[in-house]
């Protein structure tokens, strides 16, 4: 009986600790919600959804914005005062939120189908690997390797990021992995992939 009571007490402390950590993360993420939404689902297509994103990826990008290795005039002043601990709490808050995936419109199905072929099978003739090899069959990414979740991401945002990798404007990819792949994508490929992942869940 004493062991059971001790277990319950420890469990209650753990729950209280997690709740407190989430509350701190929510408070620190408040400034982020103006663009990314109160629950990490952005209402503006040019700003990314952060809900259910891998926390390690969010932290890595916040560090990149702060260091200037990823350029964005809106993000730079936001991350300037953040400590690494702040970044982790913010990332954990958004990671715990529920992503709201929007269904495809009827006229978007063909583009999504074309994007699915590249996402799932790549294109051997152009040396384009399947995106799901790193980002997962369901678009959930790989937290251990630092690969982001792509599922349900904003179409416009995804197009912008793939375009930036294609041009070399964005250079936050380890070993230039994304730049190498994106350079082999056509403008239509980029749009088709973005359309596919926007509805992936």
pTM score of the predicted model: 0.87
Minimal CA–CA distance to 140: which of 151, 127, 128? 151
Q: Which domains does the chain have, with CATH numbers?
A: 2-95 (1.10.760.10), 106-198 (1.10.760.10)
Would you state the pLDDT for residue 25? 85
Angle at 30 between CA 25 and CA 35, to 5 degrees: 125
Would you state the pLDDT for residue 13? 34
For 70-84, what is the mean pLDDT?
Answer: 96
Confidence band (pLDDT; 50, 70, 90) for 180? very high
């Amino acid at each position: 009986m004493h062991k059971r009571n001790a277990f319950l007490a420890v469990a209650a402390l753990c729950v209280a600790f997690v709740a407190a950590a989430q509350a701190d993360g929510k408070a620190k993420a408040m400034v982020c919600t103006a663009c990314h939404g109160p629950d990490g689902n952005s209402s503006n297509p040019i700003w990314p959804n952060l809900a259910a994103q891998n926390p390690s990826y969010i932290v890595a990008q916040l560090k990149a914005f702060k260091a200037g290795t990823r350029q964005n005039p809106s993000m730079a002043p936001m991350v300037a005062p953040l400590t690494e601990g702040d970044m982790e709490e913010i990332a954990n808050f958004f990671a715990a939120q529920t992503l709201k995936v929007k269904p495809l419109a009827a006229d978007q199905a063909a583009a999504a189908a074309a994007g699915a072929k590249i996402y799932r099978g790549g294109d051997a003739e152009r040396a384009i690997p399947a995106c799901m090899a790193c980002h997962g069959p369901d678009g959930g990414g790989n937290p251990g390797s630092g690969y982001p979740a792509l599922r349900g991401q904003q179409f416009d945002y995804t197009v912008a990021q793939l375009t930036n990798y294609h041009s070399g404007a964005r250079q936050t990819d380890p070993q230039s992995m994304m730049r190498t792949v994106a350079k082999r994508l056509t403008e239509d490929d980029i749009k088709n992939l973005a359309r596919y992942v926007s509805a992936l869940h």
